[in-house]
Amino acid sequence: MSTRIPYWMKSPFHWAIFLAVLVHFSGAIGIAFFSPSFFVPFTPVNLFLMLLLLILHEQPINVRFVQAFLMAVVVGMTTEMIGVNTGMLFGNYSYGEVFGRKLFGVPVLIGINWFCIVYTSHVVARKFNRNKTKGKLFVALLAAAIATIFDWVMEPVAMKLGFWNWNDGQIPLFNYCSWFVISFAVSMTFGYLKIEANNKFAPYFLMIQILFFLFLRFSPIGQS
């Protein structure tokens, strides 16, 4: 008697989505209802795993994609270092210890986080311009809006989890303005580099992340 294996179990893409959902779902439940002190330290592992899944679904991985990745990481790290050390760009804030080793007060992994957020937002924005009639400006504006909305969803939860802290406990509006401008610039550069931005895992990654932070935002830990 033969048993047919479901199609999704044969597809690496579907396994990637399953793994991303499993990791974020278990993390959200664990943080919200069990032990944040146990689950939150796994954040860097989760970030590396999601980056790996993004890269594995990138076709093709060429020089332009590597340039885009490095550019986003450098821009993210540079702006964050300016922000942390001067109070400009985002406001007065400081990073906790969740993301590990720091460079001038900014965890090295934050550059990777910037890439993941803006790149996935750029991929989603590109899907609204499939016929390529609206150009790079439209895509960059939409990508910046998506990335900024994501930051708005994430910020209160990030403070609760100790990712970073605002000195007065208030997230300034200027933070979101800076997020929009910087994300716009990075997305425009993606456009000028002419990267394919057809990563089919990227939209699911972004959606899963948004749902993860939304859930925590309205969970007991987010309301505490």
| pLDDT tens track for 135-156 | 889 999 999 999 999 999 999 9
Q: How confident is the model at residue 1 (pLDDT cuts 50, 70, 90)?
A: very low
Judged against a pLDDT cut of 90, whether residue 41 lies above it is answered with: yes
pLDDT tens digit sequence for 92-122: 999 999 999 999 999 999 999 999 999 999 9
Q: What is the mean pLDDT of residues 71-79?
A: 97
Closest CA to 197 of 72, 77, 83, 57: 57
Report yes or no: 114 and 72 within 8 Å, Cβ to Cβ.
yes
What is the pLDDT at residue 10?
A: 64
What is the pLDDT at residue 9?
A: 59
Q: What's the mean per-residue pLDDT of the chain? A: 91
3-state SS string over the chain?
CCCCCCHHHHCHHHHHHHHHHHHHHHHHHHHHHHCHHHHHHHHHHHHHHHHHHHHHCCCCCCHHHHHHHHHHHHHHHHHHHHHHHHCCCCCCEEECCCCCCEECCEECHHHHHHHHHHHHHHHHHHHCCCCCCCHHHHHHHHHHHHHHHHHHHHHHHHHHCCCEEECCCCCCHHHHHHHHHHHHHHHHHHHHHCCCCCCCCHHHHHHHHHHHHHHHHCCHHHHC
Tell which phi-psi region holds residue 105, choosing left (phi > 0), alpha (psi between -120 and 50) or beta: left
96-117 exposure pattern, b = at least 16 Cβ within 10 A, e = fewer: eebbeeeeeebbebbbbbbbbb
pLDDT tens digit sequence for 176-224: 999 999 999 999 999 999 888 889 999 999 999 999 999 999 987 767 7
